[in-house]
Amino acid sequence: MTAYDDQNIFAKILRGEIPNVTVYEDDDTLCFMDIMPRTDGHCLVIPKTPCRNVLDASDAQLASVMSTVKKVANAAKTAFDADGITVQQFNETAGGQEVFHLHFHIHPRHDGVSMRPPGKMGDMEAIKAHAEKMRAAL
Ligand code: 5GP
């Protein structure tokens, strides 16, 4: 398996080299907003320690990340009065992964509403407002 590259964008976020809109953090995990949101409230949960994805993550990394996924998913459901939550996670290029630091996407979903297409920058003021709603629900 390819080695972890500490120049990936999420490693830079963890080192504070590039900004992020934080929803939640604890000793082991960080949740922040996706800058190309496919749903209102689209956010990402990552471990603070390095691993590429599920294939090389330790059981401890997975356990702490999933605990935060559950916490934030419930907050997102409340904050957006969502009917459901989609959790997405991709492994390696063939699996759809683009940033090679383990992350889980959290999407608040509403009945009959599709996710937006990928790859379009979001409005930063809207993203900040969505993060604030989730922080208030946590
Ligand atoms: P994946 O690797 O699971 O395919 O997707 C990576 C995700 O990271 C995408 O949803 C993309 O919008 C998001 N992303 C890429 N660059 C940045 C960035 O600089 N900051 C934030 N917050 N998200 C990013």
Atom of ligand 1 nearest to the CA of 33: 22
pLDDT at 3: 97
How far is CA 96 from its chain centroid? Answer: 15
Residue range(s) defining the domain that contains residue 131? 9-137
Active site residue 103: yes
Instruction: Give the model's pLDDT for residue 29.
Output: 99
Assess whether the C-beta atom of 97 lies below 6 angstroms from ligand 1: yes
**Residue 118 domain-assigned?**
yes
Contact 101, 52 (CB under 8 A): yes
Ligand 1, atom 19, residue with closest C-alpha: 9
Cβ 40 under 6 angstroms from ligand 1:
no
In a domain, 23, yes or no: yes
Residue 4 inside a domain? The answer is no
Q: Is residue 47 assigned to a domain?
A: yes
Is there an atom of ligand 1 within 6 Å of 32 CB? yes
Total structural domains in the chain? 1
Taking the whole predicted model, whether its pTM rises above 0.95 is answered as yes
Distance separating alpha carbons of residues 74 and 71, to the nearest angstrom: 6
Strands 29-33 and 84-88: unpaired
Strand 104-109 to strand 43-47: parallel, antiparallel, or no bridges (unpaired)?
antiparallel
Q: What is the pLDDT of residue 76?
A: 98
Helix (H) or strand (E) holding 137: helix 124-137
Average pLDDT over residues 78-106: 98
Mean pLDDT of 58-78: 98
Report the alpha-carbon distance of residue 21 to residue 132 in Å, rounded. 9
Q: pLDDT exceeding 90 applies to what percent of the chain?
A: 99
Which CATH number is 21's domain given? Answer: 3.30.428.10
For the chain, the C-alpha Rg in angstroms (whole number) is: 14
Beta carbon of 54 within 6 Å of any ligand 1 atom: no
First to last CA, the chain: 37
Contact 87, 109 (CB under 8 A): no
Would 20 be classed as within a structural domain?
Answer: yes
Out of 101, 103, 105, 130, pick the active-site residue.
Answer: 103
In a domain, 2, yes or no: no
Distance 30 CA to ligand 1 centre (A): 14
Q: Is residue 83 part of a domain?
A: yes
Q: What is the pLDDT of residue 1?
A: 80
104 close to ligand 1 (CB < 6 Angstrom): no
